[in-house]
Chain A
Amino acid sequence: MPPFAGSRPRFAALASVMLLSLAQTAWAQADAAPSAADVEFFEKQVRPILAARCHECHGAQKQKASLRLDSRAGVLAGGDSGAAVVPGKPEESLLVDAIRYGDTYQMPPKSQLPAAEIATLVSWVERGLPWGPDAPAGETAGAVDGFDLQKRRGHWSFQPIMDPAPPDVADVAWVKTPVDRFILQKLAAAGLSPAPPAERRALLRRVTYDLTGLPPTPEELAEFLADDSNDAYGRVVDRLLASPRYGERWARHWLDLVRYAETYGHEFDVDLPNAYRYRDYVIRALNDDLPFDQFVVEHVAGDLVTPPRRNPADGTNESILATGSFLLGEAKHSPVDVRQDEADRVDNQIDVFAKTFLGLTVSCARCHDHKFDAITTKDYYALAGYLQSSRYQQAFIDPPEQMAGTLAALDALQIERRAAYVEFAREVIESRLAELSAKLAAGSTTNAAPTTGSPAAANELSLPGDGWGDWSATGAAFGTHPLRPLDLVSRQRDGRDVLAFAGVATAHSGQQTNRLHGVLRSPTFEISSTKIHYRLHGTGGRVRLILDGLQLIQDPIYGGLRFDAGGPSPHWHTQDVSKWVGHRAYLEVIDDGDGYIALERVAFSDDAPPSDSASVELAAVLSRTGADSPETAAEARAARCREVAKAWLAAPDARHADEPERAAIISALLTAAMTDDAAPAARLNERLADIDNRQRDLEKQITPPRQAVALADGTAENERVFIRGNPKTLGDEVPRRLLEALGGTRHAPPDEGSGRLELARQLVAPDNPLVSRVIVNRLWHHHFGAGIVRSVDDFGVMGQPPTHPELLDYLARELVRNGWSLKSLHRLLVLSNTYQMSSRPRPEALLADPTNKLWHRMSVRRLEAEAIRDAMLAVSGELNETMYGPSVMPYLTEHMTGRGRPKDSGPLDGGRRRSVYLAVRRNFLSPLFQAFDYPTPFTTIGRRGSSNVPAQALALMNNPLVVDQSRRWADRVLQSTDATPEARVQAMYLRALSREADPTELAAALQFVAPAAGNPADPAAWSELAHVIYNLKEFIFIP
C-alpha cells in the first residue's frame, strides 16, 4: 500500500539526499583540472560576487547554517541543508534556488542579487563549479560542534539525587521537622537566628490560605485559639489537607504549569470542548493524594494505562483525562503552512512538558543544540516523535460496564432479527429455488467482463477484516469490527427502513442502533494523489481528513477537509487534496448524533472515483460463472444461484471468501421472489415490529456519552530533525526516546504504538533526578514564596542553583520514600518551624540576608488573583462550594471586545463559584484577574508575577463585583445577631482579617459608620465599611 509507508519520506528530504549523492558523483568527475577559461571566468566574475555577497555570513569568520562558500569543498559539502550545489545542474542546486529567492531560502537575505549576478552564478554551476588554483585545499566546511554532552551533564540538576542526613544543629529545640535542620544550619553558619514564631492567628491565616486559598472562618480561628494542646496546629493541617478546598487551591497552581484554557485563542477563540474535565481531574487527583509518580504517568500516557484508574463516583476513565494537558494550547483554524503549524503546536507541547515535569527548556533545542544545557536538537526531535505518534481525541470515558447490558441486549435483538430474516428467506426461496435461480440466470445474459469485485485495489485504504487492525474505533457506535457483506443492516428503500445485507465490508456506526456515538480513525498515510474518493452513506455524522494533526478544520482553506455523510444511498464523495500531496493525514469518521454513517471504501487517484460501484452487481457476479455457450452459461449461472442459496440457508453465519457475491445473489433471489408475493414480507415485518419495539425500549436506556479531551495513540512515527527548526529542511530521523542526558539512549526505542507509556515510566524511574526535585521545589515555592531553586521552571544552566541543595535532595527522597504522596510533603513543609516563623522584618537580618535566601523569616506574600476573589466571596458569606463541572462563562465588561466574544456574559458574581471554576477563555481573560498577574496561558508559569499596578487599586475601589460583595457582606452583618455596632465591626474584622480590631481601628470604623441620620444599621454605611475592609492591604497580603 504505497500511501502509508511506515517511515516518513518527504520530498525535501529525499531531494536533499539525492543532491548529496549526485554531488559526490560530480565531485569525483570534476577532479580533472578545470580549463583555463573556466578558471578565468571564476576568478574574474564569480569570486568577486562570492566575496562581496556571501562571505560575510558564509566565509572564514562566520558559517551561518554551517555553510562555507569560500572553497569548492565547502560549497559541495554544503551546510545544514546539504550540498549547496550540484555541479552542472543549476535546477537541482540549493544555492541557485536561494539566489533566485525560491521557497526554502532567499539569499542574500536583505536584497536579491542583480539579475546579471544571478546569471553569472547559474552559469558557474552549469560549467561544473570551476574554482581557481589558489583555493584553500582540503578545507572543510562547517562550524566545529562545541556540544559536549558529558561535560554538560555535569550540571548539578542532572546529578543523582543524594540522600543527605539532616544535619546536626545546636538549637535542637527549634527543630520541628527535619527541614528545620537544613535551614538552621545555614542560618547559624551566617551568624543569623531564625525569626520568632508567628502569632497564632497569623499562622492559622497563613496555612489556611496556603492550603485552601481561603481565609479561616471565625469558628476555625476560635477553635484553634482555644486548643492549647501540642498538636493543635498539626490537627489544623490535617483538617486543611483533608478539605476539598485543598485540591481546588493547588489545582490552580498546577493549571498554571499546563497553560490551562478552554478555548483555542487565535482569531476566533474557538471552544476547546470538555477541557474542564482535565481541571476536575487535577482537583480530584490532589484531593485523593494520587501518588505523584502515577500523576505523571497518567499525564504522559493515561490513555495507555491498563486498566485505567476509574472515578469512584461514576466509573468514568480517570487516567485518560490527564493526557488532555497536552492539548490545551493555542490553535489556529487556517494556517497557510499547515506543517509549520503542526511543528509550532508540537513545540509548545514539548516546551510545556519539559518545563513542567523536568524543569528544562528543551524547546530551546528546536533549531540548534541547546546553548547551555545538555539537550541536543536530536533530543528535541526524539521527543517530538512521541507527539507525532499521538493524536487529539474527544475520548469516550464512560465505564464499559455502564452500557454493557444494553449493548448485549441489542446484540441479542440483532441475532433474533437475523434469525427472523433467515426464516423469512427460507420461506420465500427454499421451495422455489430452481425457478427463481433460472429466472435470475436468464435475466442476466450480459457478457460483462469479469471484475475484481470488492477486494480493495492497491491504491485504496482497506478496511480491516476482523477487529479494527491498525484502525481504531472509539465509542460504541462502530462496534468491534466492520460489518461483513452478509451482515444485516437497516436500509432505506422507497422511503422505508428495510432489513438488507450490508453487501460489502462497511465501517458502520448504526450496526446496532443509530443512537450510539463513536469515532473511527484510520492509520496515518501520506497523501500521494490529488484526490481521495470515499464511498459512503449515512443519515448523520461526518468524515474529516486530519492533515498534519490539524484539528480546527475551518474555512477558508481547510473547509474541504470535512464533509457530511450525505444521505442513505451509497455514493462517492471526492475530495480534492492536490494542495496537500506529500502531507501526512488520517481519517476520522465521526458519529455524534442520532443518525449513522457508513464508510465502504477509500480510494486514492488523480482521476474520477473507481467506476465499479462498491456493492457487487449481480450481473458481474454471475458473468464470472464462465461457460462455453449461452445455454450452458445460463445453466451454470442458475446452478451457482442454487448452490449459494442452499449453502447460506444451511449455515447462515459461516464465513466465506466470496461473501459479497453471496450477498448479491441472495438479495436478488429474495427480490425476485417478492415481486409476486408480498405476504412473507408482511409476516417478517410483523415479527420485526416486535423486535423493533423492544429495541426502542432499549434505546431509551442509552445516555449521551461523556467525553473528554485526551491523547490517543496514532500510527507510530519517528520525527526527523528539522534543520534550523525548519520543517522544510529535514535531517536525520531520530528514534523516539527521552533526553540522552537522562538516559534516553539506554532504552530500546518503542517497537509499537507511540511509546508514551514507556517514556512515562522512565520519567518517574529512580534514576531520573529531575521529576521529584522539580515537584518538591514547586511545593516549596508556593509555601515559602520562592523556591529552593528560585527559577522553578528552569533547572538548567540559565536557571538558579539551589540555595539549599541538600534540603532539595532530602525532600525529593522523602517524597519517594512516602510513596510520592504530596500531602505528606505538604505536612513536612508546613509543620516545620521554618514555615511557622514570623514575617516581621528584623533590620540586622535583612542586611545580612536581603533576599531571604537563608529563610531567616517568613516572606510576606500577596494573594493571587483567584484567592482575592474567593476570599471576598468567603468573607461576604456568598461562596458557593459546588465542585466540578462545566465552567461558568466569564463576566464580560464593555472593555472585553474582539472576535470570538461569547454571545452572552456570565454572571457578575460567577455564580459565586470558586475562581477555579470560571471559564478560562484565552482571548477573554478576566481583566480583574489580569490586573493581579493572572498569567496568559501560553507556556508553563511556575512562578507568577506579583506586580503593583493602579489597575489593582482601581479594581478594588470601583469594580462592580467588589462593590456588590461589599453590599452583600454588609447585609449579612446587619442580619446577624451582633446587635451593637462594636460587635459588628469585630465580627467583620474576624471574618476578613482573622483578628479583632484594636481600639484605634474600632474607633475609626465606628466613626465611619456613625449614623448621619440616626440609623445605626444603615446598610449603605455598613456596605461602605465592608468596602473599606476589602481595600485594606492586610486583606490581600498574608504576613
Chain B
Amino acid sequence: MGSDKLPIDDVLHAGPPATPLVEAVLDLVREKVRMRLRESGMDWDGFVFAGSDSLVTRADIEAVEAAILASGHRFDWSARASVIERPEAHKPDGTSTDDGAGFAHPDAPTAEADGDGKALRGIGDNVVRHTADIVGRALYVRSNERVMELLTNGVPQGTIAIIDDSGGTLTAPIIDQFAGVVCAGGSVRSHLGILTREYNIPCLMNAKVTGIREGDRISVEVSAPAKTTEDYQQGVERIARVWVLEEAA
C-alpha cells in the first residue's frame, strides 16, 4: 500500500471553490484518486504518467455523479434533450409524469374502504400506545432538499411524515414539527423510535405501506398495543394499521 497524499493537499491559501457543486465534484474526484493512488502503491509521478488513466475507472467517476444525485441535487439543463434522456439527473422541465405514488411494499396488507371510509394501506410496529389514533396529511420526507425546505418554511400543521430513515439522520432537525411519523424501516428501539418517544410524537416503525400518496388524509392506529423488545425476540406479531381516509385532490 502506498501513500494517499495528493500534491494538491499541500496547496496553501487556496480558498474553497466558488460553488457547492464544484466543491462536491472536486472532493469526490480527489477521494477516488486518493483511493486508487494508494492501492497502486506508486508514487504520484508514476501514478499520473503510468497508471491513472486505467486505475481511475469509469465506474469511479459514475459514482461521483451518483453521490451528487443521491444528495437530491439535480443538474441544470440547456437542451430539453438532457431531461428527456436522463430525467433522474436533471431539474424537471415541467412535463414530469411523476404520480407521487410513494412507497409500495409488496407485503403491505390493503383493503377497500370500510363502512367508515377507511381504506387499509399497510401496517407497522407501534412505538408507544397512545389514547387515540391520529389523523393527518401524508408527506414523504426522503431527501435533504425537502428537509431544507421544511426547515425554512416550517412543516404544515397536522403533517404525518412518511420516511425510510430509521436512524433519524435526515429528519432529526424537523421531527418535533410532525404530528406523526410512519417509518418504513428499523424497530421501536431504533434511534428514530427514541427521538419520537422523547417528543411524544406518535410513530410506527418497520412499516409496510403501499398506495399512500403525498397529501392523502391518513389515519394511523397508534392506540394499538406497542411492540416490545420481547415481541421482537419471540417473533410475536403485534401490529398497528394505517388507513387512507381521503385521497389527495
A-B interaction: no
